[in-house]
Structure 1
């Protein structure tokens, strides 16, 4: 483009008139000056345009898409390789690979024995007290052999992890920088005022019944376990650290604004935790192979595939390759890793202050280990957690990572070998695990707070449900909240995602009718909600839903309408099409406007999604479906299942009611207005890609119960 003046665009950077072959409505995505000439713009500009697909182009392309859940879009390629190797190569190849890998690592450990002994002799005493059992030389050798991108993880284990300052960019998580709110120097300056105030508060506190018990527990953590050292009085701490130490009354207050240690930590990466999705999908993949006894086919993130025939050993007896699951839990996971000794003076966990029952004086204990509640502890521990997951993958173990839990799926015939391989690796690397919590592999097991049931191989269904005892406890807590009509901090953490904000409250909160309804809905689900059933067969075909909302001002306020189109691709390849278009109840719209809203397009777009879930319930119950929505805020709200806006939360609650008995497996995606077939029905224009005929559905307002007036006729 010679001059930007040649481009006519509106405030949204959409062309208002065509430019050469680029049509009206195309978006200007990027403008870069071309190098050359005397000035930046003398040589013109390179402009990138985004040209919208037509409705028919968008729909035809969309109808070829499988549901992302069936594409293993959230499953690491390594797990796909492991499952493929197991199912295609058979049990002997898997056991031989695991044995060979462990044998190689044991040989390396023997070769590194002297180096390991020398290394531990050179560690700082506080670090050595925590890392004494770790085989750090072997861990480094294996990490290097695997080409692990977090190249400094073993260095940080040996030197102790930082709690304040700036996190490292490791390359194992998505980059998402969040700068610290204060520097380390500002944290220490802030501590000048906190230190005497908190110490004085502890010194003047009245004795409590549990003081001796708390003191004994803390002393055992300092003595036998070595997690803390102390106790020290005020003068001793001043002598150790000068004026540079930050006290806390309780480790749980690490999150509080008063201590501010988390505000002095810069986060560089976002940690994604998809363990339950990965585990569920792995069970489905194994179950599908178990039932079909045919070709194994997985598509990886780069487009390459893992494919081959199911091994004869599995095909001969289906029970051999039925999926089983279990979780390996690390013991006191954070406390297996030391913090940097230099930061013991500046981190908020130094010291934990309480009174010595013997003399009634305040004492402090200095922490050696990653403290629970510190923002840095989360990232630092997950660095090790992901390395440990990678080590398990190298053993051909389909394990996921969720902080200190490592749930895994396996075929029944290899369960014992899997378990033995994990335990051998834990012992070899010196990683402590909770053997008292260890349970054998089973088709139904409690993992990550839920019960996963992969026992119904005959029907080809994997079920996910709330743990019974946890569901009863949550329901009981909710009942107490409802009886009091008041949410306390600890109780509100148990509520729905829509009212999580109550967890941040520092006072008693009287529940609103909307919040009461949300609590009641959660309680009902805890007591009688059906398990989420995920069938491995797609018997009903593929379902796609497009929705849209239209909102215009008029003399009486607002006129709001919605539209929706449903396409079903049946197993035969035929299409089924349904659509709706109607005006919203004026009383409902007036209520929204009366709530102080200046723009109603958001609630209208969200109403359309909820209406589609209700009117097409029989097509969506227990089915996979892809929803295309025409509003970024609505897309975010549907993915999160929550919103801070009361009107939006009330609409989301209606969606949950429609979805409660037979939940769909949805995937929400964005569709531009110019490509959205739902746009026409919302504006009385029933022209959209039909591919034959369609059925027009009537709607009843799920809020007022009134029949809604159609926007037009065919």
Structure 2
């Protein structure tokens, strides 16, 4: 009953009760394969070897029951299902390890099978699928009539209702998930907000700080900050003798690294702020391990990454790994970079961060009292005018013997932008309510001293050589420190701050953060502008000029440029560089071929044009316009192609319903290699046609696009696909989004619940009547775009400008103004 093809029993040696839910005998409803060995050209094959493996069904069930047992013993897991706050969830990332879950739950109801009306659309749920999940509403029912009464209210909500049997329940009743009908889907999604309207990554403590700053006013904040800092300085002075005594007991190497650090005061502040990783300071004082198991931190989500080999095995390899590393320590060919590497290394020696220099292996062995030691190669990377030092712990093998138990969730550029958006919204909406993740509600009040406008200034503050201000540790460890220090960079704690003019810029309306430039000049109008750092763009253009003059590119150059462009395109609307990245990926994987010379020139010029014509990304904090809902679907039944679309444009209007015309030439083109299953192309095609056809009406708007094919949805999210036919459509979608400045979000809808299903089957009129919407003329794709889809060169034609709008015009911004 757990997926095996032969009659057998499987037993586990486990904690009593852990596997009780797996105890099931075969019901005899299917045939079993024979255990008789079979003769093959390579010899006799015994089926026992294959049957020793766990089936997928058994492994999934075992994992589910194990998780349940651990949860009953107090294990805390992240929320894994859309909860009742789905209409405006502020921190969607906390639901699951995925960045954001589906906005629309798959089922509106989960209930015992015998309590659900048989005519309702439903799916049986495997026994190992656990409900309720965190955030689900739970009720008890005892009859089909009670369940029927739930439909009118709950089927039009985006979340899930779990109904359990009230009487004679055993907990083993077969459960089903009830799907929404298309009409119910339209109603359930009507009030959903676009995730980018929300302040996704902000923790409660930061939201409280923003609200408090607005409430107490500038003088109140200045007085509070001065008072707190004065108290900290007094406390640091009072703890000076205890801190000195503590440092005397540290290892000599750690004593150098931690010189000037006020660890006792730091520990007290961590406790007072209820920081979830109180063992952090002890690790700082004792030094972080570079190999072996890491300590689990409460400051980040759980995620186990096992080591690839043991510490003992690594040390057995120490001598030959050391010899291999030393053999690779050679000049890079860039004398200036090598000189800077040596200069910075000697500077770290003076700081006490490293020991040396040593000129022979024997010196190090004598210093350590052992010949079993490892070393790590250090090399320079030139980043514009700066030379960054890299310690290659991967090549030396250190990373292979390290086990991590946390997944980092950092305060990235998204978090900072969300902070600015929160400030703008709170400033313009005094009297509004903000609900924290804890459930607490805050009233937004704006102190009169702030005046009527909003003159925001910003800057960033860096720790100087942050990772090296701690003892030996793996790269991931410092972020636990940074998570706390982001709110408290004070010299009274002894942390060195980068004070060089380039790093310590004054407060300004325009400043840089993590490779991007933020403009607050129009913050008073509710507008934030984001673009790539100008000097980074200049560096990219200089590199493009160099490559164009060179006439070819090496694998390493293609890989490096791909990485830099992949980040930089995040600030360009519609990710238009995806077609060029495809070419770079091919060169990085397969190497250079002279036959690529013409395409190479085209790609380099295309990338330069993208940066030259693109305007900053504009984020409207006060855009209260309705988040548009777009449903699309494709059909491929008995070799008959179809596609359809449904557009919910306004809250108080019915949806627009339309068939999407699929040209016969495209069907022939997609099936040119003999393929008989074209459903993925037909699922993607109506997305492109809908955005092109309705683009002028939707310019500058936020759009939720619902897709019922998971593979197509994932391709739309990534903006890329290994299949050429899919990739050229994705490239066109990127250009459409760039032209009209759409803010697109792709999410899932169940196939049975998709309002666009009937329009894709030539039943648009019937769908319009059922949905209470208007029947639109069939949507067709421009001949120029159809020609582009028929191209055998796919993305190369995209680069050459087969799109009719490559001038970088910003229609969405013009309409907004």
Q: Distance between the aligned counterparts of 2:674 and 2:479, measured in 1?
A: 44
CA 1:667–1:691 in 2, change beyond 3 Å: closer, same or farther? same
Q: Distance between the aligned counterparts of 1:581 and 1:326, measured in 2?
A: 51
Q: Distance between the aligned counterparts of 1:264 and 1:618, measured in 2?
A: 56
Q: Distance between the aligned counterparts of 1:576 and 1:270, measured in 2?
A: 44
Match in the other structure for 1:704: 786
Correspondence 1:26 to 2:106: no
CA 1:516–1:8 in 2, change beyond 3 Å: closer, same or farther? farther
Match in the other structure for 1:426: 490
Correspondence 1:606 to 2:670: no
**How far off its partner does 1:433 sit?**
1.0
Q: Distance between the aligned counterparts of 2:357 and 2:261, measured in 1?
A: 27
**How far off its partner does 1:55 sit?**
1.6
CA 1:699–1:664 in 2, change beyond 3 Å: closer, same or farther? same
CA 1:443–1:269 in 2, change beyond 3 Å: closer, same or farther? same
> Given the alignment, which residue of 404, 412, 416 partners 1:275?
412
Identify which range, 233-242 or 642-651, moves more after superposition: 642-651
Q: Distance between the aligned counterparts of 1:32 and 1:649, measured in 2?
A: 37
The correspondence of residues 378-527 of structure 1 with structure 2, limited to 5 A, is 379-389=476-486, 391-392=487-488, 425-436=489-500, 437-457=503-523, 459-481=525-547, 484-486=551-553, 488=557, 489-496=559-566, 498=578, 499=581, 502=585, 505=588, 508-510=591-593, 521-527=606-612
Identify which range, 467-476 or 250-259, moves more after superposition: 250-259
Gaps of 5+ in 2: 1-20, 31-56, 62-106, 131-168, 381-389, 568-577, 791-817
RMSD: 4.0
Q: Distance between the aligned counterparts of 1:562 and 1:208, measured in 2?
A: 58
TM-score, with length taken from structure 1: 0.76
> Given the alignment, which residue of 285, 289, 293 partners 1:158?
285
Correspondence 1:194 to 2:321: yes
Match in the other structure for 1:337: 470
Query: CA offsets per residue over residues 528-563 of structure 1, 9 Å max, x none?
Result: 201111223336433111122333463xxxx54332
Q: Is the 8 A contact 1:443 1:453 kept in 2?
A: yes
CA 1:552–1:134 in 2, change beyond 3 Å: closer, same or farther? farther
CA 1:86–1:631 in 2, change beyond 3 Å: closer, same or farther? same
Q: Distance between the aligned counterparts of 2:512 and 2:463, measured in 1?
A: 16
CA 1:86–1:4 in 2, change beyond 3 Å: closer, same or farther? farther
**How far off its partner does 1:143 sit?**
0.6
Query: CA offsets per residue over residues 325-378 of structure 1, 9 Å max, x none?
Result: 211111111111110xxxxxxxxxxxxxxxxxxxxxxxxxxxxxx5xxxxx31x
Identify which range, 20-29 or 614-623, moves more after superposition: 20-29
Match in the other structure for 1:306: 442
Q: Is the 8 A contact 2:199 2:422 kept in 1?
A: no
CA 1:43–1:70 in 2, change beyond 3 Å: closer, same or farther? closer
Q: Is the 8 A contact 1:287 1:322 kept in 2?
A: no
**How far off its partner does 1:386 sit?**
0.3
Tell me the matched-pair count.
618
**How far off its partner does 1:300 sit?**
2.3
TM-score, with length taken from structure 2: 0.67
**How far off its partner does 1:297 sit?**
3.2
Q: Distance between the aligned counterparts of 1:627 and 1:328, measured in 2?
A: 39
Q: Distance between the aligned counterparts of 1:177 and 1:576, measured in 2?
A: 48
**How far off its partner does 1:700 sit?**
0.7
> Given the alignment, which residue of 140, 144, 150 partners 2:267?
140
Q: Distance between the aligned counterparts of 2:636 and 2:741, measured in 1?
A: 30
The correspondence of residues 34-113 of structure 1 with structure 2, limited to 5 A, is 45-113=172-240
Q: Is the 8 A contact 1:130 1:227 kept in 2?
A: yes
Identify which range, 514-523 or 660-669, moves more after superposition: 514-523
**How far off its partner does 1:517 sit?**
7.1
CA 1:7–1:579 in 2, change beyond 3 Å: closer, same or farther? farther
> Given the alignment, which residue of 170, 176, 190 partners 2:297?
170
> Given the alignment, which residue of 372, 375, 382 partners 1:244?
372
Higher relative contact order (CA closer than 8 Å, sequence separation 6+): 1
Query: CA offsets per residue over residues 207-263 of structure 1, 9 Å max, x none?
Result: 995698367426523532333212221112334263432234335775586433222
**How far off its partner does 1:77 sit?**
2.0
Q: Is the 8 A contact 1:625 1:667 kept in 2?
A: yes
The correspondence of residues 540-579 of structure 1 with structure 2, limited to 5 A, is 540-552=625-637, 554=639, 559-569=640-650, 573-575=651-653, 577-579=655-657
> Given the alignment, which residue of 427, 433, 436 partners 1:297?
433
Normalized per residue, the structure richer in strand is 1
**How far off its partner does 1:641 sit?**
3.5
Secondary structure of the structure 2 residue equivalent to 1:463:
strand
Identify which range, 265-274 or 640-649, moves more after superposition: 640-649
**How far off its partner does 1:140 sit?**
0.6
Q: Is the 8 A contact 2:634 2:757 kept in 1?
A: yes
Match in the other structure for 1:619: 697
Q: Distance between the aligned counterparts of 2:677 and 2:508, measured in 1?
A: 53
Match in the other structure for 1:408: none
Identify which range, 584-593 or 510-519, moves more after superposition: 510-519
Q: Distance between the aligned counterparts of 1:579 and 1:647, measured in 2?
A: 26
